Structure 1
Amino acid sequence: MHPEEKKQPFSLKHTVVSTLAWWYSVFLGWTTRVYWFKTDEAIELEKSGKGIIYAAWHNQQLFLLYPYRGQKIAALISQSSDGEYIARVLPHFGMLAVRGSTTRGGARALIKLMQAARAGYRLMITPDGPRGPIYQVQPGILFLAQKLGWPIVPGGISLSHKFKAGSWDKMRIPLPFGKAVFQYGKAIWVKDEADIPRAKEELQAELNRCSEASEMFCNKVHFDSTKG
């Protein structure tokens, strides 16, 4: 059993666009070579079957679906019209869309995420979403980690073939026939509410470090593969 989300009214536009997005996500998965760099700690946490909160910056989220398919993950998705497209795609990959925001109406979103966690889902959050500021961790993910007693596993995702949108977060739109690099960082634990400022600083630094490391390796792989 999993927490039920309120059924959205039928929309032809959302139905058509989300179906095309699903097909495109699968096509990307088939045509993109993925490199994983996980810490030993993250590997052990994943093997343990215990709760994890995955975190990545908002502009890296569009290539998170296919690589994490079938892993019983609940992702926090904004209640905006754009969020509706993503929310309709997630179930095709065995994932649960939890609608809401950790900033606006944050308490309700946190309750929904805790319900998903109790139902056996691991969680996935973009801590600078849904509206920024870019690369600034909002406190909701830290309160959630503290209440659940779960670690936050930060990650950086880089793409060799992408288009950068003109949105507030400079969203990376993945393009096919490229390479993707997933770089995991040190798990962040939040002991209590007094520990939140320290954890926020550490999480922000780890997300930036992972993003830089994945970008560096992605550029190296792309360069090496085009030499000679």
Structure 2
Amino acid sequence: MAVKNGFVYRLLLVVVPWLYGGLSRLLFATCRVRVHGRENLDRCEVQAKPFVGLFWHYSVFVAVALISGRGRGWAAMVSASKDAEFVARILARQGVVPVRGSRSRGGLGALKGLIALLDQGNNAAIVGDGSQGPPRVMQAGALLLASKSGAPILPLAVAADRFWAFGSWDRTLLPKPFAQLHLWYGEPLSVPEKAGSEEIEQCRLEMEHRLNGLYAQAWGEFGKESHDGA
């Protein structure tokens, strides 16, 4: 049975990313996207150095689909868990370099890997609340990355008028065909080089405030306070 399950797992690792890649391209091609705060994105794109795109975990598939095709190459931190291998391969098919690691496993190595990719000119995509949550509570990883790399952090939030919400801890969403999407970019934040613990904590609280403010604005476009009750 173990051999059989191992075979099925390996088969799914090949099939699922390929299937998702094709279906997601068709899906997002039907969606209408309205962008807010584009001037904040422009501020990051016109500079010589790369930046860190930051968003809450619930929007990971939507956010990556909307930003990964822009400008520079992209890298993203993905959990080192076995199940996250599917996410890593899905991102790879979208042209995003996955770097494996999380708060509880391989986080330091992943951080170093992302810094190296930023030094090579890639942008980085990170979920602010990590791979395990709690949802919409900022973790320090992105701030440490920004401090060590010198890359500014660009917060963003997305909302959809029609979507599926999975039963995960963060209620990960996927828009339904022909959905209307609102994409909000917030003001970039630069973290001081070699920031100490107090500065990191101040930046963490500020970025949590900005992300949750964007989240409220995005869902407010559809008369909702959040996506949790959908």
Q: TM-score, normalised by structure 2?
A: 0.85
Letter in 2 for 1:131: Q
Q: What pairs up with 1:8-19 in 2 under 5 angstroms? A: 11-19=10-18
How many residues are treated as equivalent by the alignment?
211
Give the secondary-structure state (helix, strand or coil) at the position aligned to 1:134: coil
- In structure 2, distance between residues paired with 1:145 and 1:78: 19
Deviation at 1:68, TM superposition (A): 2.2
1:159 equivalent in alignment to 2:134: no
Residues 77 and 125, structure 2, Cα contact 8 Å, conserved in 1: yes
- In structure 2, distance between residues paired with 1:126 and 1:23: 24
The percentage of aligned residue pairs carrying the same residue is 31
Q: What pairs up with 1:17-96 in 2 under 5 angstroms? A: 17-71=16-70, 72-96=73-97
Q: Which moved more, 1:53-62 or 1:158-167?
A: 158-167
- In structure 2, distance between residues paired with 1:58 and 1:108: 21
Residues 40 and 186, structure 2, Cα contact 8 Å, conserved in 1: no
Deviation at 1:40, TM superposition (A): 2.4
Which residue is equivalent to 2:116? 115
Letter in 1 for 2:155: P
Q: Which moved more, 1:204-213 or 1:170-179?
A: 170-179
Which residue is equivalent to 2:125? 124
Structure 1 pair 73/65, CA: closer, same or farther in 2 (3 Å)? same
Deviation at 1:187, TM superposition (A): 1.2
CA-based RMSD: 1.8
Which residue is equivalent to 1:208? 212
Structure 1 pair 201/152, CA: closer, same or farther in 2 (3 Å)? same
Give the secondary-structure state (helix, strand or coil) at the position aligned to 1:123: strand
Deviation at 1:219, TM superposition (A): 4.6
Deviation at 1:106, TM superposition (A): 1.7
- In structure 1, distance between residues paired with 2:12 and 2:80: 16
- In structure 1, distance between residues paired with 2:116 and 2:103: 15
Give the secondary-structure state (helix, strand or coil) at the position aligned to 1:176: coil
Give the secondary-structure state (helix, strand or coil) at the position aligned to 1:48: coil
Which residue is equivalent to 1:198? 202
Q: Give unmatched runs, 5+ long, in structure 1.
A: 1-9, 221-228
